[in-house]
Amino acid sequence: MLPQSLAEAEALDRDDPLRRFRDRFALPEGLIYLDGNSLGPLPRATPDRIAEVATREWGERLIRSWNEAGWWEAPVRIGDKIARLIGADDGEVVATDSTSVNLYKLVVAAAALKPGAILIENDNFPTDGYVVQQAARLTGRECRMVSGDALEAAIDDSVSVVVATQVNYRTAARLDIAALEDGAARVGARIVWDLSHSIGAVPLDLPRDGATLAVGCGYKYLNGGPGAPAWLYVARDLQDRLTSPIAGWWGHADPFGFASDYRAAGGIRRFLAGTQPMLSLLALESGVDLFLEAEMAEVWAKSVRLFDLFAARIEATCPELTILSPRDPAKRGSHIALGHPQAYGIVQALIDRGVIGDYRAPDIARFGLTPLTLGHADVWRACETLSTVMREQSWADPRYASRNSVT
Amino acid sequence: MLPQSLAEAEALDRDDPLRRFRDRFALPEGLIYLDGNSLGPLPRATPDRIAEVATREWGERLIRSWNEAGWWEAPVRIGDKIARLIGADDGEVVATDSTSVNLYKLVVAAAALKPGAILIENDNFPTDGYVVQQAARLTGRECRMVSGDALEAAIDDSVSVVVATQVNYRTAARLDIAALEDGAARVGARIVWDLSHSIGAVPLDLPRDGATLAVGCGYKYLNGGPGAPAWLYVARDLQDRLTSPIAGWWGHADPFGFASDYRAAGGIRRFLAGTQPMLSLLALESGVDLFLEAEMAEVWAKSVRLFDLFAARIEATCPELTILSPRDPAKRGSHIALGHPQAYGIVQALIDRGVIGDYRAPDIARFGLTPLTLGHADVWRACETLSTVMREQSWADPRYASRNSVT
């Protein structure tokens, strides 16, 4: 039963089992932050952890911290923690590099398993398409781009690798991993999943669904900090059959042997290349540690309630906005996309009123529903502000004419 | 005239124009840190800067900091600062990714300019060889490995790309960039320089010497912090002729247009791929800013004096150690390598006595001479400790039997 008033929304928040997480984040007073799907907010523990890394581990212990402080092991250690959020095992995930670089590694490595085209849905976050286009050129493969709807039908014998984003970054539409993996298995193709908008947002069990390759982001729902290192997953059985195109000493079987010939490490380490940025990587660990304290089932259940409340309020108060995200929870992620020709101005007007969402060209206002930090009352208030912006046509303010925003 | 006593060394330090830099670093009292060529020490300004990035920019301003705080521009802005240390211009360097990933990008991009083998000296830091071996396999090129001495002669018509480390990570032997570039120019080959052990260590003027492609590290002499992002340099004239194999939205001509087709940005931005780790990247900027306050000519002049003093003290007090680094300053970098079959135990015994250097298999003790933080008296004292370790054969301590150190 959805709350019918701000008071009812507040009552729901008082009984929320995830309520305790709100104070673990350092969100500014008075701000309603609906952009945790782009940059997750700062966990309160993170500044102290970073200060410890800088002042004590780096400043005092210096080079010794590579061993003593576990820096060298961090990509694998943090990978093991991330693995729990996707149903994977220890040794199947590493935290390293950027999502783009990791996607490149897995696409090129997987393409070597089978001749054929590389297939990608054209409504991925564009960087995925760019990575795949270049990887296809380099490996002499055809690059085919199709819409998400057409993806399943396009996976045929002539396809080697498929790149698919499970949760669409604009609409939040969610693909069915198991169904697509079934299709890929029938033709011997491999799917590389981009889970940037999935991890920490929707329940995931990659082994159950037959997924063997995935990459994802650390700075969205995992709250790892701006540009936090990304991660990659390779199912254990597949690891030693794949060779990363980007070799490097961190992926060598004997990194301190300093042998001149490359010999890939067994297991997931072979997908590491160079030295990792420890301040950013260990900040990511703080975010992941905090996330692991929550039950993913509770997170998802709350996401569904927040979405339903948001959608109901929009329908009740902002009829000129189109809800672009799927209404069936099984078919969406944890954000809501609203369509309007003035979406850019709407988002800017909201930001000026303390409600932060983001704009996606050409006509989408996007709002992340992050259950660890948002309450039902936040959603209620955000929709009230949105309704005011629409009623007053605040989006028409000439200050919002320029579209040079980076958000 | 080299100091002949600790008192004379201290007198020289009192007149040292770089003396003021020592207090800008947070080195622990009583420690002599001769490993700034592996992990540069913590600049005092860095923890405050990182705290500001975390608490204010990320925590309070959140997503808005991509614009407001200059995060989006950081790779190019910091690249412009690094450019000054290699004689390059604004827009010729970006700070991004790891050295391994950057080397991969430039080797693959440069190989597309000309058919032929990829040539690498086999005494590079091994990761360079690993990167090149994999890149050669992927692009169907022959990979030739030769010794540094044989490199110049091996650059013939059949070579497409050469990868060379200017300053050898073990011996500090320095290659002559201009001479090798002359040879490469004659056959139309491109050299990708690894300047990880050069930048901030020796004077560099890449345009003068004809160098057009380089990569390097941010966490050694630039004091950027553990695993700080690396950088890459592409001479302006060459930029638009090269295509990075790893595409991504940060390297797109219109990153926020979200077009589905990849169109590389003009200029150096095309070598960016994914989102960069801001905490680590902005810590690097603190290190680079501090370095830019020093005159490189003064840094190098002091490096030469520190080396000569180190070498003289070793010759006077530790005859059983072999000085492996070139004595001619024009032929070396800013560290000194000593050979001894018990090098591992020697380095461990020194660490236990507060003198931090590092060990490189199988028989090298390596000591970085970083003029911003080290004085002549530090070198004198380090050599006294080393002489005691050698006299007492402290390296034979059974605690030093294991060689599992990460340093």
Residue A177 C-alpha, separation from nearest chain B C-alpha, in angstroms: 23
Q: Give the domain extent around A287.
A: 72-292
Is the domain of B134 the same as that of B214?
A: yes
How far is Cα B406 from Cα B390, in angstroms, rounded to an integer? 23
Cβ within 8 Å, pair B100-A248: yes
In the predicted model, is pLDDT for residue B361 greater than 90?
no
At B123 the pLDDT is: 83
Half-sphere exposure of A305 (CA within 13 A, CB side): 22
Final residue of a structural domain among B274, B292, B310: B292
Q: Is residue A59 part of a domain?
A: no
Which burial class, exposed, middle or buried, applies to B93 when counting CB atoms under 10 A from its CB (0-12, 13-18, 19+)? Answer: buried
User: Per-residue pLDDT for B300 more than 70?
Assistant: yes
In this structure, are B279 and B307 located in the same domain?
no
B126 interfaces chain A, CB cutoff of 8 Å: yes
pLDDT band with cut points at 50, 70 and 90 for residue A404: low
B204-240 as b/e: b if 16+ CB within 10 A: bebbebbbbbbbbbbbbbbbbbbbbbbbbbbbeeebe
The DSSP output letter for B171 is T
| Total number of domains constituting chain B | 2
Q: Name the active-site residue from A35, A194, A209, A358.
A: A194
The closest alpha carbon to B213, from B118, B112, B103, belongs to B103
Q: Distance from B257 to chain A by nearest Cα, in Å? A: 7
- End position of a domain, from candidates B292, B325, B345: B292
Q: Count of alpha carbons within 13 Å of B342, Cβ hemisphere only? A: 18
Q: Is A24 on the interface with B (CB under 8 A)?
A: no
For testing the chain A interface, which of B127, B145, B171 should be mutated: the one with the most A CBs within 10 Å? Answer: B127
Indicate whether B104 and B197 sit together in one domain: yes
pLDDT over threshold 50, residue A380: yes
CB pairs under 8 A between A and B: 307
Pair B182, B204 in one domain: yes
A214 lies in the same domain as A80 = yes
Confidence bin at B406 (pLDDT 50/70/90): very low
> Is B216 contained in some domain?
yes
Same domain, A315 and A177: no
pLDDT higher than threshold 90 for residue B258: no
B194, B201, B232 from B175: Cα distances, Å? 11, 14, 19
pLDDT at B403: 66
Asked if residues A240 and A266 have their Cβ atoms less than 8 Å apart, the reply is yes
Between positions 147 and 206 of B, the ones with CB within 8 A of A are none
DSSP letter for A367, please. Answer: E
B54 in a domain, yes or no?
no
Q: Please compute the mean of the pLDDT values over residues B181-207 and round it to a whole number.
A: 98
A227 and A308, same domain (yes or no): no
A196–chain B nearest CA distance, Å: 12
- Interval B120-164: pLDDT, tens: 998 888 899 999 999 999 999 999 999 888 999 999 999 999 999
A154 lies in the same domain as A301: no
Mean pLDDT of the B41-66 span: 98
- Would you say residue B66 lies in a domain? no
Residue A114 has pLDDT above 80, yes or no: yes
User: Both tokens of residue A266?
Assistant: 């067994």
Contact A356 B63 (CB under 8 A): yes
Determine which helix (DSSP H) or strand (DSSP E) holds A82, and give its type and residue range. Answer: helix A74-83
pLDDT at A407 over 50: no
Tell me: do B150 and B226 sit in the same domain: yes
Report which of B384, B334, B31 is spatially closest to residue B173, judged by C-alpha positions.
Answer: B334
Proportion of chain B above pLDDT 70, given as a percent:
99
The residues, ordered by sequence, that sit 6+ positions from B34 with a Cβ below 8 Å of its Cβ are: B355, B356, B357, B367, B368, B369, B374, B382
Q: Is residue B63 part of a domain?
A: no
Domain annotation covers residue B29? yes
- Which amino acid appears at position A217 of this protein? C
Q: Which one, of A371, A140, A97, A369, lies nearest residue A244 by Cα? A: A97
Mutation site, A122, A131, A263, A280, interface B, largest B CB count within 10 A:
A280
**Active site includes A105?**
no
Q: Does A317 touch chain B (CB under 8 A)?
A: no
Judged by CB atoms closer than 8 Å, whether chains meet at A252 and B130 is answered as yes
A250 neighbourhood in chain B, CB within 8 Å: 100, 127
Cα separation, A75 vs A272, in Å, equals 8
Active-site amino acid positions of B: 125, 194, 219-220, 366
Q: What is the distance between the alpha carbons of residues A395 and A392, in angstroms, rounded to a whole number?
A: 8
**pLDDT digits over A97-110, tens only?**
999 999 999 999 99
C-alpha count within 13 angstroms, C-beta hemisphere, residue B289 = 15
CB of A70 within 8 Å of a chain B CB? The answer is: no
A82: domain CATH number is 3.40.640.10
Mean pLDDT calculated for residue range B86-90? 98
CB within 8 Å of chain A, chain B residues 81-110: 97-101, 104, 108
Predicted confidence (pLDDT) per residue in B192-204, tens digit: 999 999 999 999 9
pLDDT-derived band at B407 (thresholds 50, 70, 90) equals: very low
By the 10 Å C-beta count (0-12 exposed, 13-18 middle, 19+ buried), B10 is classed as middle
Instruction: Note the pLDDT of residue B256.
Output: 84
Output the average pLDDT for chain B: 96
Please give the pLDDT value at position A129.
95
The span from the CA of B148 to the CA of B171, in Å, is 12
The confidence score (pLDDT) of residue A21 equals 98
Residue A241 has pLDDT above 60, yes or no: yes
DSSP secondary structure string for all residues of B244-288: -SS--GGGBSSTTT--SS--BPSGGGGG--S---HHHHHHHHHHH
Q: B313 and B280, same structural domain?
A: no
Residue A227 touches chain B, beta carbons under 8 Å? yes
| Confidence label for A258 from pLDDT (cuts 50, 70 and 90) | confident
Contacts of A229 in chain B (CB under 8 A): 277
- The shortest CB-CB distance from A226 to any of B47, B58, B406 is to B58
Sign of the dihedral through C-alpha A346, A349, A355, A359: positive
What is the ipTM for the molecules in this complex? 0.97
- The residue count for chain B: 407
Please indicate if any CB of chain A lies within 8 Å of the CB of B35: yes
Do A139 and A252 belong together in one domain? yes
**A103 within a domain of the structure (yes/no):** yes
B256 touches chain A (CB under 8 A): yes
User: ω into residue A362 within 30 of 0, thus cis?
Assistant: yes
CB-closest option in B122, B227, B356 to A277: B227
The Cα A89–Cα A105 span in angstroms is 21
pLDDT of B329 strictly over 90: yes
| Chain B nearest CA to A287, separation (Å) | 13
User: Could you say which of A125, A271, A291, A310 is catalytic?
Assistant: A125
Q: Which of B364, B359, B349 is nearest to B407 (CA)?
A: B359
A281 contact residues in B (CB cutoff 8 A)? 227, 277, 280
Identify which of A129, A279, A351 has the shortest CB distance to residue B225. Answer: A279
Whether omega before B277 lies within 30 degrees of 0, making that bond cis, reads no
Tokens for B267, please give them. Answer: 């200029």
Measure B160 CA to nearest chain A CA, in Å. Answer: 17
Domain boundary residue among A261, A292, A323? A292
Instruction: Please give the Cα distance from B175 to B165 (Å, whole number).
Output: 8
Task: Say if residue B141 is in the same domain as residue B244.
Answer: yes
Neighbours of A20 (CB within 10 A): 11
The answer to the question of residue B328 being in a domain is yes
Torsion of CA A289, A291, A294, A295, to 10 degrees: -110
